[in-house]
Structures are given as structure tokens and as C-alpha cells.
Amino acid sequence: AQSVSQHNHHVILSEAASLELGCNYSYGGTVNLFWYVQYPGQHLQLLLKYFSGDPLVKGIKGFEAEFIKSKFSFNLRKPSVQWSDTAEYFCAVADGGSQGNLIFGKGTKLSVKP
């Protein structure tokens, strides 16, 4: 069965610090990968997604993620975080070859200190 691991439960950074949130998945076939963000009091929103092609994916608000197939990883990065990035971030994987549902990680809470 597919699974997603997010290594950090809670990350605390100061503004302007660089961010990298880890995500590893277990599935040997074709995958589609996603990062969702949930700002305080808001619903889950798509941050970025990987289908195929360039493994470096750019999303909204300056976020990017790199798909490394050999490492089964899809880490999220941002060069300089802002206080407004405080949120919970969820990595998710879908089987790229069939219908089904997204499998989510347990999430990483990011707190950015002003």
C-alpha cells in the first residue's frame, strides 16, 4: 500500500530563513505528487503538483518542490519564508496510472516568527 512520510511534525523559523520540508513516499510505479497548504482557519489549498517532465516544480507564493525518483522524495522548499507562510503543509501522492484517492502525509506545521 502507498504511504507518505513527512519527517518534521513542527518547524519553527524566523522570517527570511530558508525552508525545506521533507516528504517521502512508498510506491514503485508512476506517481503524481502534491503539496497542499492549510492556513489557520482556512481550507486546504493546492500549493503545487508534479505530473511528469521537469522534476523541479514551481508553485504559488515562491514555493518549489523537487521530485527525486531514486529517493522517492518530493521535498518542499522556499528560499525566504514570511510570517504569512505560517500554516500546515501536507504532502500527498496519487497512483499516476489509475483512478483512486490521494494518500496524505500527517502534515508539517510551520510557524514563522516575525
Partner 1 sequence: GAGVSQSPSNKVTEKGKDVELRCDPISGHTALYWYRQSLGQGLEFLIYFQGNSAPDKSGLPSDRFSAERTGGSVSTLTIQRTQQEDSAVYLCASSLAGARYGYTFGSGTRLTVV
Enumerate binding residues for partner 1 (CB under 8 A). 9, 32, 34, 36, 42-46, 49, 51, 90, 92, 94-96, 99-107
Question: Toward partner 1, which CB reaches closer, 79 or 100?
Answer: 100
CB of 39 to partner 1, least distance (A): 12
Question: Toward partner 1, which CB reaches closer, 36 or 112?
Answer: 36
Rounded to 5 degrees, what are φ and ψ at 69? -60, -40
Residue 76 near residue 35, CB atoms below 8 Å: yes
Q: How many helices (H) and strands (E) does the chain have?
A: 0, 12
CB of 16 to partner 1, least distance (A): 29
CB of 20 to partner 1, least distance (A): 20
Taking the C-alpha atoms of residue 18 and residue 43, their distance in angstroms, rounded to an integer, is 25
Radius of gyration of the chain (CA): 14
Amino acid of residue 6: Q
Question: Toward partner 1, which CB reaches closer, 17 or 73?
Answer: 73
